[in-house]
Amino acid sequence: MTDHVVANRAPAGGPEPVLRVRELVAEYATPRGALAAVDGVSFDLHPGESLGLVGESGCGKSTLGRALLQLMPPGGAVRGRVELGGRDLVGASLPVLREIRGKDVALVFQEPMTRLDPLMRVSDHFVEAIRAHRPGTSRREARAMGRAALAQMGIPPTRADNYPHEFSGGMRQRIMIALGIVLRPQLIIADEPTTALDVIVEAQILDILDALRRDSSVGLILITHNLGIVAETCDRVAVMYAGKIVEIGDVRQVFSAPKHPYTKGLLASTISLETTRLHSIDGTPPDLVTPPPGCRYAPRCPFVMAHCTDAVPLYAEPEPGQLAACYLYPGANADGRATPREDAEVAR
Amino acid sequence: MTASPSAGVGRERNVSVRDTDVVLEADNLSTYFPVRTGLLGGGSGAVVKAVDRVSFDIRRGEVFGLVGESGSGKTTLGRTLLKLVDPTSGAIRYLGRDLAPLSEREMRPLRRELALIFQDPNASLNPAMTIVQGVGHPLRIHGITSSRAQTRARVAEMLERVGLSPAENFLDKYPEDISGGQKQRLVIARALITEPTFVVADEPVAALDMSVRAKVLELMLDLQRDLGLTYLFITHDLATARFVCDRIGILYLGQLVEWGRSDTLFDDPQHPYTRALLDAIPLPDPGRRDRDKRLPRGEVPDALHPPTGCRFHPRCPEAFEVCGWQGADLIDFLEDRWTTVDADTFEAESAATGPLSGVEVSRYAVRFPAADASHLLPLLRDLRDARAGRVFSAVDDVTEDRGGVAVTFRDGPEPALQPVAGRQVACHLHGVVAREDSEAIA
């Protein structure tokens, strides 16, 4: 594997990454054949760092989140490597995965109600979760830990013994986060954690996630379709298209000077308070059972060149730390066959 | 294929609309829903005031935006204006004629002039009908076309108009055969095929990916111009509202808190709730992430028990003495406080209040019957003197009461809309103006 494939390498002598993902492939079986929803994804995540995984429906971002923890539905398969604290999770046994999922990694999903047992008091969720991973903990101790975690999330201790349905949507999401962090995980994976919430509550939850990873150096992977959320909360961003990360880099760099044409299109089509003109991307994403040859964005790309469909582009590094899988930049071609032409100037 | 992503579509504001040219007017409009409780659904007489005494007007050729969070009543208001839901009181004047008292039979001839575009295309398209059948359906219902060939021709024309071209490729397909963006075009085609005057679009692009949203909005604006439509655009997304709407009304718990020209509202919001909504929008600009956001606390309260006075007061970062503080607000304050103090302080203070479930809460008072008065009295007085929370601005007295502790509150009227800097705002920060039709307090 070349260095270029390894998106965002650790600086020499820097801290070991919490998570190291290499050439990850996540496939579903369909009647028409295998569909690689995630197709060769590599990245590192460092302690206290937040990475936004952003893209539109069907790009593979949610599958990637699940594949990291081997949570694929029946008929799904994962290949590649997912190293968490040095341990490879691909192919790990179920007991090992269960241990990791509850303790080392917290998962926060869009709809918390589906993860909370409606017949169990909130405090009992904590007792169960804590004692499953730390059997020596007393009930009393576990309840106190739960109360503290809830208070940190803004849930009054007087509500700890209520049932999940007695809370609003935003409160339930706070409870899920409290449950996730009570055992001090190294990593939080949050998949559209605020999509079901109103904008003010969304901002409150994002503040909480941001404070968490700043204060406890936990790594955060935030999966979202909302570029605004990434800009508000993430250090780095990985833009996904058709199962691949097409661009990854520092949030400020990527948002101010996107390199991949898809990133440019996505940013331009985002409607913000400053929007004075509407933009959109022509065409639709490809069918992943039979993906197009070469660059998967080529059929929609306004900068497409003749050789874009010859082979899958490698990562070029047009700016230090900012990688784009695009032939517009030197380094994307594997064998020097394809070189950017005058058209490339348009992209700069 | 367009080669340059800079070829975008700008928005020409419709500034020429005359004040007098009102297409639709809501006059003190309310829609209440009875809440069924109990085993037999007999009801407790409780009502949810989904829309509560709302007045505004929509002018010919404009896009009027209704913006609010879930539970704001925006969808109910949109449906009430079309008489798809019967109002409880008030008037809906469509071209001067009050629709509120009309029967469904009397409404029928007006239906083709009033259209609704839904958010979820899958819910608004019959999967068993081909596109020509589904889109042509309203034509047959209203007797606009009399033959199959005529219907087919009209549908084909409409499909071309919404960009489903060539129409022949779509007419005999089923909704499941086309993409999400195309489906939303279909929903628009179906809504507009009867050539309506007034169109309610309820979150028309919320279910679409960003890269196709613009196309659908663009289409809606083109059609508005070409067909002379007037839109009510319902959304929770302020950024889209700002781009699309000429005027905007901000709804909170069934009431308009601020309304006026959209540039006026966005450039210089005057209601703390409008400001909060604007502050909370995540900006796709990492350079501005550290800006000062004044986020309100908590969430939209239960619509069955809306707060007294100004409905936003419990969450408002600027609420003061007259905003309608009530007993429940003190309990909220204490529970909030207990998330920030250490476990020992919490134990001591909750022992002093006694169980919160036993506390008697009413509009103007809270009584802690099981309180340890020797601890709770000084605690509450200290908190009051320190103005530890905004709720204390309205605390009248903290006294020992029949062995427990009672806290009483001063009155705060429901704010009326008043003109402030070119728009209407219902907020006491601009001068205390009480609603004349303020509800009697139980």
Tell me the per-residue pLDDT of A315-335, one tens digit each, with 9 for 90 and over. 999 999 999 999 999 988 865
Lowest model confidence (mean pLDDT) among B123-132, B262-271, B383-392 = B123-132
Whether A193 and chain B come into contact, CB under 8 Å, resolves to no
- Cis peptide before B355, with omega less than 30 degrees from 0? no
Lowest model confidence (mean pLDDT) among A326-340, B192-206, B254-268, B371-385 = A326-340
Whole-structure pTM value: 0.91
pLDDT band at B191 (very low <50, low <70, confident <90, very high): very high
Does residue A101 sit in helix, strand or coil?
A: helix
| Rounded CA Rg of chain B | 26
Using a CB-CB distance cutoff of 8 angstroms, which residues of chain A are in contact with residue B277? 199-200
pLDDT of residue B118: 84
- CA–CA–CA angle B269, B270, B273 (5° rounding): 80
* Nearest residue, CB atoms, A156 vs list B213, B283, B339: B339
In a domain, A84, yes or no: yes
A337, pLDDT greater than 60: no
Q: Single out the residue in A125, A159, A184 at which a domain terminates.
A: A184
- Alpha carbon distance A53, B405 (integer Å): 53
Whether A160 and chain B come into contact, CB under 8 Å, resolves to no
Contact B29, B94 (CB under 8 A): no
Instruction: Tally the domains of chain A.
Output: 2
pLDDT of residue B44: 64
* A307 & A161 share domain: no
- Percentage, residues of chain B above pLDDT 70: 93
- Alpha carbon distance B442, B438 (integer Å): 12
In a domain, A9, yes or no: no
Of A271, A92, A297, the C-alpha closest to B1 is: A297
Mean pLDDT of chain A: 89
* A128 & A247 share domain: no
* A110 & A177 share domain: yes
Of B22, B267, B421, B274, the C-alpha closest to A200 is: B274
Please tell me whether the interface predicted TM-score (ipTM) of this complex is above 0.85: yes
- Alpha carbon distance A147, A149 (integer Å): 5
Mean pLDDT of the region A101-119? 86
Contact B204, B147 (CB under 8 A): no
Q: Single out the residue in A138, A154, A184 at which a domain terminates.
A: A184
- Percentage, residues of chain A above pLDDT 90: 78
Is B356 in contact with A158 (Cβ distance < 8 A)?
yes
* A122 & A180 share domain: yes
- CA–CA–CA angle B265, B271, B277 (5° rounding): 75
Whether B209 and chain A come into contact, CB under 8 Å, resolves to yes
SS3 content of chain A, % helix, strand, coil (to 5): 35, 20, 45
In a domain, A5, yes or no: no
Mean pLDDT of the region A112-135? 91
Domain B22-113+194-267: top CATH class: alpha beta
* A148 & A86 share domain: no
Mutate to test the interface with A, among B203, B289, B335, B344 (most CBs of A within 10 A): B289
* A80 & A191 share domain: yes
Residues in chain A: 348
Distances B5 to A190, A282, B412 between C-alpha atoms, Å: 32, 10, 54
Instruction: Kindly report the CATH number assigned to the domain that includes residue A313.
Output: 3.40.50.300
| Environment class of A140 (CB within 10 Å of its CB; exposed 0-12, middle 13-18, buried 19+) | exposed
B120, pLDDT greater than 90: no
* A62 & A139 share domain: no
Tell me the per-residue pLDDT of B333-380, one tens digit each, with 9 for 90 and over. 999 999 999 999 999 999 999 999 999 999 899 999 999 999 999 999
- Chain A residue closest in CA terms to B302: A168
* A218 & A291 share domain: yes
pLDDT band at B13 (very low <50, low <70, confident <90, very high): low
B414, pLDDT greater than 70: yes
Question: How does DSSP classify residue A202?
Answer: H
* A169 & A305 share domain: no
CA-based nearest distance A269→chain B, Å: 5
* A84 & A213 share domain: yes
- Alpha carbon distance B261, B431 (integer Å): 22
Does residue A180 sit in helix, strand or coil?
A: helix
Using a CB-CB distance cutoff of 8 angstroms, which residues of chain B are in contact with residue A168? 299
* A168 & A198 share domain: no
Mean pLDDT of the region A302-313? 94
pLDDT band at A348 (very low <50, low <70, confident <90, very high): very low
- Alpha carbon distance B208, B121 (integer Å): 10
pLDDT of residue A317: 95
> Can you say how many angstroms the Cα of residue B185 is from the centroid of all Cα atoms in its chain?
25
- Alpha carbon distance B423, B250 (integer Å): 12
From its phi and psi, is residue B39 left (phi > 0), alpha (psi between -120 and 50) or beta?
Answer: alpha
Mutate to test the interface with B, among A269, A303, A342 (most CBs of B within 10 A): A269
Q: Single out the residue in A156, A184, A212 at which a domain terminates.
A: A184
Contact A174, A155 (CB under 8 A): yes
- Alpha carbon distance A175, A179 (integer Å): 6
A342, pLDDT greater than 50: no
In a domain, A265, yes or no: yes
> Can you say how many angstroms the Cα of residue B377 is from the centroid of all Cα atoms in its chain?
41
Q: Give residue limits of the domains in chain B.
A: 22-113+194-267, 327-409
Mean pLDDT of the region A59-68? 95
In a domain, A64, yes or no: yes
**Domain ranges, residue A175:** 105-184
In a domain, A319, yes or no: yes
* A159 & A296 share domain: no
Question: How does DSSP classify residue A113?
Answer: G
